[in-house]
């Protein structure tokens, strides 16, 4: 791109053609004031405060929207410019409350700042004023439009970044203000309450309710940390005063979140201060959990664990670590299981979401992680989203995908049995295939790609093996057969193959709609086959990209919280690897692969497992066939739970340890893009609650192991010593935004995308896969197919989000989605209460009649204990990854009769 030379305030600059004057000034470190400029949206040119003088141009020009020209000479701060800015500020202040002393944004308001810098004390123009425009009806923020300066940034971000258009500038002239359509309440619009409008408001017109009256901006301490919800790994800055969090923001420089957040990250942190927080240890005395001292609880836990281990053997104990806890805490608890207890019975909820990803991608590529980074979605020219409700489960990833479509012209394909909001409307192609037919669908697509010659023969020849076997197997998947299996038309199959097969940079993005099947590993292998077939691996903006569901599910896997591997995916069955860890840890280690999550509870039934320690997990709600799980929990001789709330699982416990939340401890999380980032304590834990890592070390000490870590940083140093992919990671190096593994040594910059030039396993392996029916299909008794998943407003089992006042108010109860034809056949109307039953349990819930689901299928979110979806789901397992089939089981729906229910 040609460059342009110009002079700004006597300083020479050379910038690319198309750069604005403001951008050129910023490159020189010259600040030009503005109230309506944001680098992520098109210039608004509405505040006029960024006016500059250009020699040879009669009138002052807006620097945010004026492009540079060769030889241009610009003055940004001479007397003429400053006088014009004073006049603009006087105009703005003439219709703006001058109550800065009592305003919550005192110290942050840009209008206040510029008025001070230009010594404008009051408005100089008398006239009408906006008054009485305050609206506090939504759960999250106050809209005080008497303070609005009509800069348009909130509208620009809603349209340009979130791409929702929930608000616009309404009315004309003096009456112009940001409004919803027909002034409807925000809850009745397509607003998703991301709060990104609040983040960019330059004045006090939009303020989080949590801030109102609680502290002016200069009174808040700022602590940079990481969001505790999904696996996006968004940067988070907590505003804190007097030991309480008052707001959350995101740093604009963050490589994944770019300063944006979703409603859970921005507003869903108030669970930290909920009165239900556990504040002291609890022990069971008789039938009741009662408060106890730390010494009593630790002594009891250590004694009972030792008794069961010594009487029944190490494998009579099992440990569940947590994807919501830090890398350091997961590392220590898996080390505790292996060193102190002597068992490999250690697992966590990755088994329930992405175990098939780890298994499948490791077979195909040699590494079971997301191949590329989140920001790369923006530069792809094709994005295939399958089995992922991205906009609700991973909202910030969805922003990047929407930007790729809107700004880069990327072709978006969505393949999912259920309509995917926000992405479906923007897709070049949507296919809604029958649940459990993913292998047939993508085998059919590959059949067409080979038939049409769209496969990458050079890539296949040079970088893969097993192609001929795959090609032979794909002959069994012609379009006419695939259409019958999947319900997708031959025309749509061809179009899917054409768009993906002819793209130069195609990214595959998937989540639990692919993994949570008895064929989950095979599903993942099929997607890996598709990417390799077209040469879309090992380059920027390509790859196979699983979206991890929880904040540290990637990290918990990385540091060995799995029954078959030590940290770094090093196999427990390998004698050399085991000897390495025995030397590092100073202990004899078990050689047999341990039990997975579901297997643990099945083992309890036959007295194979008698004691469990569960950290930060809630299997009584999260695991399939939950009635069976609850019976197992009640049968255990010993259950230790460690959590921030008394969860449904902790109610079964014999000992409960109160733990610190994400905002109350230090550590690291590893996001879905393999980014290891620092977590930093912002507030103290309530009562005598302690960080999880301290609790684990205390129990180890009570059992005779003198674990002395001065802090989580020392634990990370140990992780780096035994985990090659983390070898170069330390707190000193992580800085603000972390590093992406593999990072093998202290000089390594981290890895943006994997498999460049060579797969981790050497050659990529094509694995033929075969369509198999799910373990349980509809029949006459249970005629409908059940799918489960998330909603935007809640997370996992609701332990945190249902204790967030705004989130729970916005979405207080569960629902089941029914197709209109199914509802009509059952005599049901939208809002009717229904009983949903499977062979394993029943729930009562309101129904939503919608064509988001296809005929014959239903959808039930799993967040709500009152309508616990996993009372219905089946615990049939993928034979390789041992992941349960959450996404397909048979149910019956009928109108609920309260009298008949008793």
Contacts of 824 (CB under 8 A, 6+ apart): none
Query: Do the Cβ atoms of 646 and 658 come closer than 8 Å?
Result: no
Q: Reading across the β-sheet that carries 638-643, which strands appear in turn?
A: 288-291, 282-285, 655-658, 638-643, 611-615, 317-320, 346-347
Distance of CA 387 to the CA centre of its chain: 15
Nearest to 239 by CA among 255, 256, 257, 219: 219
Q: How far apart are CA 682 and CA 665, in angstroms?
A: 8
Task: For residue 290, list its beta bridge partners.
Answer: 283
Residue 310 structure tokens: 């010594």
User: In this predicted structure, what is the pLDDT of residue 901?
Assistant: 44
Q: How far apart are CA 561 and CA 331, in angstroms?
A: 7
Question: To 10 degrees, the CA torsion angle through 644, 649, 654, 658?
Answer: 0
Q: How far apart are CA 864 and CA 21, in angstroms?
A: 53
Q: How far apart are CA 840 and CA 890, in angstroms?
A: 10
| 722-742 burial code (b ≥16 CB/10 A, e <16) | bbbbbbbbbbebbeebbbbbb
Strands (E), 359-409: 382-386
Q: How far apart are CA 32 and CA 22, in angstroms?
A: 7
The burial class, CB within 10 Å (0-12 / 13-18 / 19+), for 458 is exposed
Residue 525 structure tokens: 């292998």
Annotate 514-576 with DSSP letters as a single string.
HHSSTTHHHHHHHHHHHHHHTT-SSSTT-SEEE--SSTTHHHHHHTT-SSSEETTTEETT-HH
Contacts of 511 (CB under 8 A, 6+ apart): 387, 388, 389, 390, 393, 394, 546, 547, 549
Annotate 78-145 with DSSP letters as a single string.
SHHHHHHHHHHHHHHHTTS---GGG-TTTTT-HHHHHHHHTT--S-S-------S-EE--SSSEEEEG
For tokens 């034979």, name the residue.
879
Which phi and psi angles does 278 have, rounded to 5°?
Answer: -70, 130
Kindly report the pTM of this predicted structure: 0.96
Report how far apart, in Å, the C-alpha atoms of 69 and of each of 18, 66, 78 are.
9, 9, 20
The radius of gyration of the chain's CA atoms, rounded to the nearest angstrom, is 29
Positive or negative, the CA dihedral 740, 760, 350, 616 is negative
Distance of CA 473 to the CA centre of its chain: 36
pLDDT mean by block of 10 residues, the chain; 902 residues: 92 95 96 94 92 96 96 96 96 88 92 94 78 85 92 94 91 85 89 96 95 93 97 97 97 96 97 98 96 98 98 98 98 98 97 94 96 98 97 97 96 97 96 96 98 98 98 98 97 98 98 96 98 98 96 97 97 97 97 97 97 97 95 98 98 98 98 98 98 98 95 98 98 97 97 97 98 96 96 94 96 96 97 97 97 96 95 95 95 83 42
Q: Reading across the β-sheet that carries 506-510, which strands appear in turn?
A: 429-431, 411-415, 382-386, 506-510, 544-546
The 3-state DSSP class for residue 394 equals coil
Contacts of 33 (CB under 8 A, 6+ apart): 49, 50, 85, 110, 114, 117
Query: Do the Cβ atoms of 661 and 685 come closer than 8 Å?
Result: yes
Q: How far apart are CA 240 and CA 598, in angstroms?
A: 41
Report how far apart, in Å, the C-alpha atoms of 84 and of each of 77, 80, 98, 252, 467 are.
10, 6, 21, 30, 69
Annotate 727-763 with DSSP letters as a single string.
TT--HHHHTTT-EESP--STT----SSS-SSSBTTBS
Q: How far apart are CA 195 and CA 199, in angstroms?
A: 6
Annotate 473-524 with DSSP letters as a single string.
HHTT--HHHHHHHH---HHHHHHHHHHHHT-SSEEEEE-HHHHSSTTHHHHH
Residue 283 structure tokens: 């022990």
Query: Do the Cβ atoms of 855 and 824 come closer than 8 Å?
Result: no
Query: Do the Cβ atoms of 457 and 443 come closer than 8 Å?
Result: no
Question: Which helix H or strand E contains 400, and what residues bound it?
Answer: helix 395-408
Query: Do the Cβ atoms of 121 and 2 come closer than 8 Å?
Result: no
User: In this predicted structure, what is the pLDDT of residue 57?
Assistant: 95
The 3-state DSSP class for residue 336 equals helix
Give me the half-sphere count of Cα atoms (radius 13 Å) on the Cβ side of residue 730.
Answer: 11
Q: How far apart are CA 223 and CA 240, in angstroms?
A: 8
- 3-state DSSP helix/strand/coil % of the chain, to nearest 5: 35, 20, 45
- Give 768-786 as a 3 state SS string: CCCCCCCCCCCCCCCCEEE
Contacts of 723 (CB under 8 A, 6+ apart): 558, 559, 560, 567, 568
Report how far apart, in Å, the C-alpha atoms of 830 and of each of 148, 846, 847 are.
40, 8, 6
Helices 438-452 and 479-486: angle between axes, nearest 10 degrees? 160
Angle formed at CA 612 by CA 609 and CA 614, multiple of 5 degrees = 145
Expressed in angstroms, the distance from the first to the final Cα of the chain is 75
Strands 282-285, 51-54: parallel, antiparallel or unpaired by DSSP? unpaired
Q: How far apart are CA 561 and CA 630, in angstroms?
A: 23
């Amino acid at each position: 791109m040609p460059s342009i030379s110009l002079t700004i305030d006597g300083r020479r600059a050379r910038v690319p053609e198309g750069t604005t004057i403001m951008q050129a000034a910023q490159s020189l470190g010259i600040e030009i004031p503005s109230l309506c400029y944001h680098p992520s949206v098109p210039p608004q040119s509405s505040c006029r405060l960024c006016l500059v003088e250009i020699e040879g141009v009669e009138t002052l020009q807006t620097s945010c929207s004026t492009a540079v020209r060769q030889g241009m000479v610009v003055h940004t701060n001479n007397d003429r410019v400053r006088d014009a800015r004073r006049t603009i500020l006087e105009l703005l202040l003439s219709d703006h409350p001058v109550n800065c002393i009592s305003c919550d944004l005192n110290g942050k308001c840009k209008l206040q700042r510029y008025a001070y810098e230009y010594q404008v004390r009051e408005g100089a123009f008398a006239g009408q004023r906006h008054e009485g425009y305050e609206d506090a009806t939504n759960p999250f923020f106050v809209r005080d439009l008497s303070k609005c300066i009509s800069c348009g940034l909130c509208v620009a971000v809603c349209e340009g970044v979130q791409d929702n258009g929930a608000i616009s500038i309404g009315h004309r002239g003096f009456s112009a203000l940001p409004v919803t359509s027909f002034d409807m309440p925000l809850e009745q619009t397509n607003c998703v309450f991301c709060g990104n409008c609040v983040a960019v408001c330059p004045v006090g017109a939009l303020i989080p309710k949590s801030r109102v009256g609680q502290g002016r901006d200069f009174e808040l301490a700022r602590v940079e940390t990481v969001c505790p919800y999904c696996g996006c790994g968004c940067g988070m800055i907590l505003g804190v005063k007097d030991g309480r969090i008052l707001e959350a923001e995101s740093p604009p420089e963050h490589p994944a979140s770019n300063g944006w957040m979703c409603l859970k990250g921005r507003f869903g942190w108030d669970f930290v201060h909920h009165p239900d927080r556990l504040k002291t240890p609890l022990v069971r005395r008789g039938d009741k959990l009662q408060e106890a001292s730390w010494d009593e609880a630790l002594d009891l836990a250590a004694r009972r664990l030792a008794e069961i281990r010594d009487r029944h053997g190490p494998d009579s104990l099992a440990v569940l670590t947590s994807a919501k806890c830090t890398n350091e805490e997961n590392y220590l608890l898996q080390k505790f299981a292996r060193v102190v207890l002597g068992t490999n019975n250690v697992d966590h909820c990755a088994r329930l979401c992405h175990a098939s990803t780890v298994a499948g991608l490791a077979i195909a590529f040699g590494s079971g992680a997301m191949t590329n980074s989140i920001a790369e979605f923006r530069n792809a020219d094709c994005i295939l989203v399958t089995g992922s409700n991205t906009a609700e489960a991973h909202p910030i990833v969805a922003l990047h995908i929407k930007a790729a479509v809107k700004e880069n012209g990327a072709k978006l394909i969505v393949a999912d049995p259920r309509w995917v909001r926000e992405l479906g409307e923007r897709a070049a192609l949507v296919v809604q295939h029958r649940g459990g037919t993913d292998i047939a669908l993508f085998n059919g697509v590959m059949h067409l790609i080979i038939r049409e010659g769209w496969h990458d023969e050079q890539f296949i020849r040079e970088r893969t093996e097993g192609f001929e076997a795959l090609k032979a197997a794909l002959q069994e998947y012609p379009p006419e057969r695939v259409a019958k299996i999947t319900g997708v038309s031959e025309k749509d199959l061809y179009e899917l193959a054409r768009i993906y097969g002819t793209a130069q940079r195609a990214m595959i993005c998937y989540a639990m709609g692919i993994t949570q099947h008895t064929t989950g590993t095979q599903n993942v292998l099929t997607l890996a086959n598709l990417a390799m077939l077209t040469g879309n691996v090992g380059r920027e903006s390509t790859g196979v990209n699983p979206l991890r569901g929880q904040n540290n599910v990637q990290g918990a896997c990385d540091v060995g919280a799995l029954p078959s591997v030590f940290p770094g995916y090093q196999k427990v069955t390998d004698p050399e690897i085991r000897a390495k860890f025995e030397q590092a840890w100073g202990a004899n280690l078990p050689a047999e692969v341990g039990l997975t999550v579901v297997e643990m509870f099945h083992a309890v039934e036959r007295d194979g497992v008698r004691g469990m320690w569960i950290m930060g997990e809630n299997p009584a709600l999260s695991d399939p066939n939950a009635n069976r799980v609850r019976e197992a929990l009640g049968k255990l001789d010993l259950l230790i739970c460690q959590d921030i709330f008394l969860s449904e699982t902790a109610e079964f416990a014999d000992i409960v340890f109160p733990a610190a939340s994400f905002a109350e401890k230090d550590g690291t999380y590893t996001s879905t893009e393999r980014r290891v980032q620092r977590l930093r304590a912002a507030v103290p834990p309530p009562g005598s609650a302690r960080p999880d890592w301290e609790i684990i070390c205390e129990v180890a000490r009570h059992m005779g192991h003198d674990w002395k870590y001065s802090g989580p940083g020392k634990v990370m140093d140990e992780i780096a010593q035994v985990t090659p992919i983390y070898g170069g990671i330390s707190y000193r190096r992580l800085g603000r935004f972390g590093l992406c593994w593999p990072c093998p040594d202290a000089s390594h910059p981290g890895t943006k995308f994997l498999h460049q030039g060579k797969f981790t396993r050497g050659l990529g392996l094509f694995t033929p896969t075969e369509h198999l029916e799910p373990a349980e299909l509809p029949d006459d008794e249970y005629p409908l197919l059940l799918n489960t998943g998330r909603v935007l407003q809640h997370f996992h089992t609701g332990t945190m989000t249902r204790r967030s006042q705004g989130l729970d108010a916005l979405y207080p109860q569960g629902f089941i989605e029914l197709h209109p034809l199914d509802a009509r056949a059952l005599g049901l109307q939208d809002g009717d209460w229904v009983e949903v039953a499977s062979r394993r349990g029943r729930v009562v819930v309101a129904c939503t009649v919608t064509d988001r689901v296809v005929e014959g299928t239903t959808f039930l979110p799993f967040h709500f204990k009152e309508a616990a979806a996993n009372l219905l789901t089946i615990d049939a397992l993928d034979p390789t990854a041992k992941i349960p089939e959450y996404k397909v089981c048979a149910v019956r729906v009928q109108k609920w009769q309260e009298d008949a229910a008793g």
